Structure 1
Amino acid sequence: MMKIPLLPHTDHLLPKGRAKLTIAQARHIRMVKEALSSNEGFLMAMIDSNREESEITEVPALTTRVQIIDFHRLEGDLLGITVEGIDILRIAKIHVDFDHLLIADCAPYFVWPPFPATSANQYLADKLKQLHATVPDLGELYAEPKYSDMTWVCQRWIEVLPIDVKYKQLLIHQENPKLAIRFLMKLLQDKNLIY
């Protein structure tokens, strides 16, 4: 079992996904310092946007370990970091440290293998390209997007779509992206969804 600091967050991240985060609390600044010095990163756990982080002691079992790929100081003693997902870990237990930083006992979980795009699922990649073009802050995170890999494409969609965490967890529990492809194709072809 590994012991790794845990950050519950409404920004959801999976392997090879990227996000910019603002770090404000002393416990999380300590987490960032330790992640940089240990080179082990920290965990980002999925929470729904309607939950307050201060009340969280339970998070879904599967979480993403992230590494810090960039950081800079912001106004008001805040810290801005850019993180990238490394792998998926399964949480066994969570401890609350002396400064209220969450520490998770966790073990490795499998990561989806690469899965080539086909003419049947190319629609998902095309819609993701369109999203990245219309939301530059999101698209700019990826200098080398992997639109030909359905694992990468599905994981980027799972990160950004406003669906309940329990459904995201169900999808990433699968051994490969096949169920995610079917789910996302049906969801994104719904004319009532804006993307």
Structure 2
Amino acid sequence: MQLPLFPLNLYLLPGGISKLRIFEPRYVRLVKLAMASDDGFGLCMEVNDNICHFGTRVIITDFDQMPDGFLGITIRAMDKFVINHQWQEEDGLRFAQTSVLPNWTPTEIKYIDRDLSQGLQMLFDEYPEHAAYYPQPDFEDMAWVCQRWLEILPLGTEQKQWFMSRNDHRAALSFLHSIIDEELKDK
């Protein structure tokens, strides 16, 4: 699949939702291209002006004119991809030929994992502005819970890319348990 790319230090996994402020002409063009097709665009992180190997295809679910005159868009992450080939056009907009990676399979929460789900619920209660992005949260799906945790934790780009490359949520679950278990020991 060919996608226009939006390099941004924002980490979204499938099901993730965020808002963006669009003002550069090349990204206004990206929005027009994304709205003209069902494919959306690729959200990619960068390291030293180099686009990372893995990204997330997002679609625009809403848009509005902001008070400052810029365009505001709401995006929803659909699936992960790997970049096979990329190029840049004259206006600076980047494109890539991508291959879709499998989304993590929804998985029912086990008793031993309930603390991760409950912790995310508490975080959503504490930050209602973030929770507002998710009017129907799925705290019973371990894959969904892991993805939301990974989006908000302060992880390095390499770590985020590694988790994005995984075919399921098991590595994320193990990682999150190590953090939560360590936090509980310190209390």
TM-score in terms of structure 2 length = 0.93
Question: How many angstroms does 1:68 deviate by?
Answer: 0.4
Please name the residue that 1:174 is paired with.
Answer: 166
Q: How far, CA to CA, are the matches of 1:41 and 1:145 in structure 2?
A: 23
**Are positions 1:38 and 2:37 aligned together?**
yes
Aligned-residue Cα RMSD (Å) equals 1.5
- Cα shift readout 1:47-75 (whole Å, capped 9, x = no counterpart): 4xxx6xxx62x222111000000100013
Q: How far, CA to CA, are the matches of 1:124 and 1:7 in structure 2?
A: 31
Contact 2:11 2:160 in 1 (8 A): no
| Alignment equivalent of 1:62, drawn from 48, 54, 60 | 54
Q: How far, CA to CA, are the matches of 1:175 and 1:11 in structure 2?
A: 21
Please name the residue that 1:188 is paired with.
Answer: 180
**What secondary structure is seen at the aligned counterpart in 2 of 1:84?**
strand
Q: How far, CA to CA, are the matches of 1:8 and 1:17 in structure 2?
A: 17
Show the 5 A alignment for 1:1-195: 2-47=1-46, 56=49, 58-191=50-183
Question: How many angstroms does 1:135 deviate by?
Answer: 1.1
TM-score in terms of structure 1 length = 0.89
Indicate the percent of aligned positions where both proteins have the same amino acid: 32
Q: How far, CA to CA, are the matches of 2:20 and 2:58 in structure 1?
A: 12
AA paired with 1:108? V
**What secondary structure is seen at the aligned counterpart in 2 of 1:113?**
coil
- Cα shift readout 1:134-190 (whole Å, capped 9, x = no counterpart): 111110000100100011011111111111111122222222111110101111333
Consecutive unaligned residues in structure 1, runs of 5 or more: none
**What secondary structure is seen at the aligned counterpart in 1 of 2:85?**
strand
Q: How far, CA to CA, are the matches of 2:151 and 2:88 in structure 1?
A: 27
Consecutive unaligned residues in structure 2, runs of 5 or more: none
AA paired with 1:115? T
AA paired with 2:13? L
